[in-house]
Chain A
């Protein structure tokens, strides 16, 4: 058993499931968006605003936003723990990895908060 303090759920199964469930949601959302642009090839502000302003879409967008954050964190944390290691870069690796992980977490947090304002801010 390897202890991981910075993984999403501190648990391999949780992270693995979360990455796959969010991938399914993001995949379906992408297909939905493709469908929208396919059947509405010349979207104007009215149709776009009508779609994104509807309550069900706001809920879906919030779920998608959280999914991107969770999926992104699991994936980028994995990349960081693969490449930013003492095996690759020697002694400073742990400090570098921690800084990179904090930057990724901050970026995702800003992205989520900013996204929530966009979704629920009533533009």
Chain B
């Protein structure tokens, strides 16, 4: 099969280019990460991030045939019809919208800066209980679909609002995490959290195009979380 990979080494290349590789997969339905790993055996200069290789660490987010996803949990058969059979090339690029450090490795600073802004930790100034702050099963269930985010950046880097205003718009990943704490019965900073997002950019730059939902490799729904935050702001402000 033909594999076309984005290559860029800022120390030696004037500009990025796509490099084609041939790989014999023997018809196996390999994960894309396995394909890239085999290509790295051919060409050790290829750079990419990977760690757990099972969709938990979020290191190998990349753009595969036009869609952001995790290479380690994406089999060739799911990329596009004909890719596994070698009828169509496998095309791999870094996550869009983020500066490229080298090849498929992107600089995630802007992404983490926005994550930090939502203060992704529990805020509760009440005296500490002897063991732990308890939640009812119903309150705990409110966090389902939120806590599972692994911060792979597939969603935020698929969002045009984040491409255009990455310093001002929090992006779907950070907003999902913000709602994860807004929805937490143990968190007491609701007003402060909402006040931080009441400007025209941080939250409201979301247009609801749902690219984030379409690409999330964990099946989460940041658009719905953003809608919940917006509803909370409406209830507070109207």
Q: Which A positions have Cβ atoms within 8 angstroms of B?
A: 1-4, 7, 11-17, 78, 81-83, 85, 87-88
- A1 near B195 (CB under 8 angstroms)? yes
The complex places the Cα of A1 from the Cα of B230 at a distance, in Å, of 15
The complex places the Cα of A87 from the Cα of B200 at a distance, in Å, of 19
User: Could you tell me which residues of chain B, from 189 to 205, have a CB within 8 Å of some CB in chain A?
Assistant: 195-205
Q: Find B202's partner among A2, A14, A82, A83 (CB 8 Å cutoff).
A: A2
Q: Find A7's partner among B200, B230, B237 (CB 8 Å cutoff).
A: B200
Q: Which residue of A lies closest to B97 (CB)?
A: A87
Known contacts A2-B201, A12-B200, A12-B203; A81 and B165 CB within 8 A of each other: yes
* 18 A-B residue pairings within 8 Å (CB atoms): A1-B196, A1-B198, A2-B199, A2-B201, A4-B199, A4-B201, A12-B204, A13-B237, A14-B237, A78-B200, A78-B205, A82-B160, A82-B161, A83-B164, A85-B164, A87-B164, A87-B166, A88-B164
Q: Find A17's partner among B195, B203, B238 (CB 8 Å cutoff).
A: B238
- B164 near A2 (CB under 8 angstroms)? no
**A3: which B residues are within 8 A, CB to CB?**
199
CB of B233 closer than 8 Å to a CB of A = yes
- A2 near B204 (CB under 8 angstroms)? no
Known contacts A12-B204, A17-B238; A82 and B164 CB within 8 A of each other: yes
Q: Which B positions have Cβ atoms within 8 angstroms of A?
A: 160-161, 164-166, 168, 195-205, 230, 233-234, 237-238
- A12 near B201 (CB under 8 angstroms)? yes
- B198 near A12 (CB under 8 angstroms)? yes
The complex places the Cα of A7 from the Cα of B200 at a distance, in Å, of 7
Distance of A39 from chain B, by nearest CB (Å): 36
Q: Which residue of A lies closest to B238 (CB)?
A: A17
**B238: which A residues are within 8 A, CB to CB?**
13, 17
Q: Find A11's partner among B160, B165, B196, B200 (CB 8 Å cutoff).
A: B200
- B199 near A17 (CB under 8 angstroms)? no
